[in-house]
């Protein structure tokens, strides 16, 4: 169902979200030098976004938005399968299959771009869903078998990898690990086995830390990792648009950025609240439902804590809310009447999403061929006419889509200069590193995308490359301005004339 509804958007040639272009451009650069934090700064997300594209490329997939969006849908499908397997531990097979429908419908029927692109939240969502499945297997093992140490290790490993997908999701991973440890601690098993399970859970987390430490030590990247991934993330939170205290009150507005999300969220949550006090006979199911509420609360905290109304953050709520709805369905059916509960489930959690899709449609349906045939941007078209083998490019401003269109790696560690332009505690560090990168490996092409109508950065007086004197002098000395197209200035290294 996911692929049946989503495939028309695969062939939209432009980026559906600027982050999508950044991720694909990062994968192109990592393909040239696969050592993250040496060749690539992933900024606000972890390296687990780019590496799947490199793996896909090894099997012949191009570095483009089609590959990225297919991987995104595969990650969503895997997260839903893991949620179904979690539900299957506490509910009959038919209930488990029906229980995942709210999330499946949302990710299938959504037609708004900010939910269709290869989002930085998706790998972490999938890892959390897999860890939740493993935790459920520990709490409710298959008949005739006790919980195994391999399952506990996998639960720790999957949750431990979440920080390398997106630091924003660390509260969810930490909360899930504590819950899993608590389930093991209070499980009716002998003390030696309990200790083995807790040891395996901790070993899974430790394996990630040890592997990361060995990697950073091998390539001498401790400073880069700390400053560009940890310290910058903490500093970035201080640049939020709204204080955390204001975010709960703004959630109604936040959720309404795409009406279909509001229908999914409030309808599915309404179903869970409707049967909140319905007595549940099975103890395991009672505990699982309480855990699901905690997981949803952790996801809500993760969404609100950054203080930004980025719609793709709302992806983080899909799996916890779907799990809660499925467990509520499983608990209410035996006591409140199967048909009555199913009716409420359809009316609240599913029907509004179907109605919205029928009412609004999708601009991608029927236009896949037209979208695929759209020409490249004028800037990419100009540079593409003059490219020579081995050319490289550096970007000032925010236009990483040019790297994707031209299939050029970026010589600086970021495909844009947001960290250099933004005024924050680490501005000086990022500017100095940018200058080091561009001096160490001078690009053939330098593009300044700051100008009227540009994305985010449009003030040449305060944000163009001339705002950094050292960079201004370097570009003036070593590069010629060869074109200005749609507010974007294109420079070519002196000594390399463009093709006639």
Q: How far is it, in rounded angstroms, from Cα 11 to Cα 446? A: 29
Domain count, the chain: 2
Q: 368 in a domain, yes or no?
A: no
Specify whether 211 is located in the same domain as 307.
yes
The answer to whether residues 63 and 102 belong to one domain is yes
Tell me 416's DSSP state.
Answer: S
Residues 323 and 229 in one domain: yes
Structural domain boundaries, residue 409? 378-493
Asked if residue 440 belongs to a domain, the reply is: yes
Same domain, 89 and 145: yes
CB burial string 461-475: b at 16+ within 10 A, e below: eebbbbbbeebeebb
From CA 407, how far away is CA 428, in angstroms rounded? 30
pLDDT at 126: 98
Q: Are residues 275 and 389 in the same domain?
A: no
Q: What is the pLDDT of residues 252-287, one digit of tens each?
A: 888 888 788 999 999 999 999 999 988 888 888 999
Percent of the chain with pLDDT over 90: 77
User: Is residue 499, in this structure, part of any structural domain at all?
Assistant: no
Phi/psi for 167 (5° steps) reads: -60, -30
pLDDT score, position 141: 62
pLDDT of the residue at 483: 95
Q: What is the mean pLDDT of the chain?
A: 92
Q: Is residue 261 part of a domain?
A: yes
Are residues 105 and 209 both part of a single domain?
A: yes
One domain for residues 65 and 178 = yes
The answer to whether residue 428 scores a pLDDT higher than 60 is yes
pLDDT score of 433: 96
Q: Is residue 303 part of a domain?
A: yes
pLDDT tens-digit series, residues 3-18 = 999 999 999 989 999 9
Q: Within a domain: residue 498? A: no
- Number of Cβ within 10 Å of residue 203's Cβ equals 16
**Over 70: is that where the pLDDT of 144 sits?**
no
Q: What is the pLDDT of residues 362-375, one digit of tens each?
A: 888 877 777 777 77
pLDDT of 280: 85
**Are 397 and 323 within one domain?**
no
Same-domain check for residues 155 and 304: yes
| 189/234 same-domain check | yes
Pair 86, 217 in one domain: yes
User: What is each CA distance from 319 to 3, 125, 172, 175, 251, in whole angstroms?
Assistant: 18, 8, 12, 15, 18
Closest CA to 41 of 304, 313, 236, 238: 236
* 30-58 pLDDT per residue, tens: 999 999 999 999 988 999 999 999 999 99
Q: Could you tell me if residue 365 is inside a domain?
A: no
Both 354 and 429 in a single domain? no
Region 184-210: mean pLDDT is: 93
């Amino acid at each position: 169902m996911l692929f049946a509804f989503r495939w028309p958007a695969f062939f939209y040639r432009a980026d559906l979200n600027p982050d999508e272009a950044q991720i694909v451009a990062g994968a192109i650069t990592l393909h040239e030098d696969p050592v993250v934090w040496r060749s690539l700064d992933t900024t606000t997300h972890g390296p687990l976004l780019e590496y799947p594209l490199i793996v896909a490329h090894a099997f012949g997939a191009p570095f483009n938005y089609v590959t990225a969006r297919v991987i995104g849908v595969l990650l969503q499908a895997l997260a839903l399968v893991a949620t179904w397997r979690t539900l299957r531990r506490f509910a009959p097979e038919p209930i488990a299959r029906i229980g995942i429908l709210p999330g499946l419908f949302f990710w299938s029927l959504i037609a708004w771009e900010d939910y269709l692109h290869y989002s930085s939240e998706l790998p972490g969502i999938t890892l959390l869903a897999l860890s939740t499945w493993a935790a459920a297997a520990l709490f409710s093992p298959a008949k005739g078998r006790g919980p195994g140490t391999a399952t506990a290790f996998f639960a720790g490993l999957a949750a431990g990898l979440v920080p390398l997908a997106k630091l924003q999701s660390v509260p969810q991973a930490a909360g899930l690990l504590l819950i899993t440890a608590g389930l093991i601690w209070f499980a009716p098993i002998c003390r030696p086995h309990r200790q083995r399970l807790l040891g395996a859970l901790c070993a899974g987390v430790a394996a990630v830390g040890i592997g990361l430490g060995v990697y950073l030590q091998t390539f001498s990247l401790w400073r880069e990792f700390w400053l560009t991934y940890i310290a910058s993330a903490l500093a970035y939170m201080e640049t939020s648009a709204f204080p955390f205290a204001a975010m709960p009150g703004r959630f109604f507005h936040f959720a309404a950025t795409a009406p279909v999300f509001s229908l999914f969220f409030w309808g599915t949550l309404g179903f869970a609240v409707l049967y909140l006090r319905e007595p549940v006979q099975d103890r395991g199911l009672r505990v699982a439902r309480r855990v699901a509420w905690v997981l949803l609360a952790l996801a809500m905290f993760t969404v609100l804590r950054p203080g930004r109304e980025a719609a793709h953050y709302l992806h983080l709520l899909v799996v916890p809310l779907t799990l809660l709805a499925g467990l509520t369905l499983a608990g209410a059916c035996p006591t409140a009447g199967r048909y009555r509960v199913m009716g409420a489930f359809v009316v609240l959690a599913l029907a509004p999403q179907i109605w919205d899709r029928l009412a609004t449609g999708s601009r991608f349906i029927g236009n896949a061929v037209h979208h695929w045939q759209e020409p490249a941007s004028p800037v990419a078209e100009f540079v593409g006419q003059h490219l020579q083998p081995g050319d490289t490019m550096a970007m000032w401003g925010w236009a990483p889509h040019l790297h994707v269109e031209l299939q050029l790696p970026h010589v600086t560690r970021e495909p844009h200069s947001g960290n250099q332009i933004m005024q924050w505690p680490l501005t000086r560090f990022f500017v100095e590193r940018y200058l080091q990168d561009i001096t160490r490996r001078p690009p053939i092409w330098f593009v300044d995308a700051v100008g009227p109508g540009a994305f985010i950065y449009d003030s040449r007086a305060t944000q163009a490359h001339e705002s950094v004197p050292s960079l201004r002098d370097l570009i003036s000395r070593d590069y010629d301005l060869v074109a200005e197209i749609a507010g974007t200035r294109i420079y070519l290294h002196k000594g390399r004339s463009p093709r006639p």
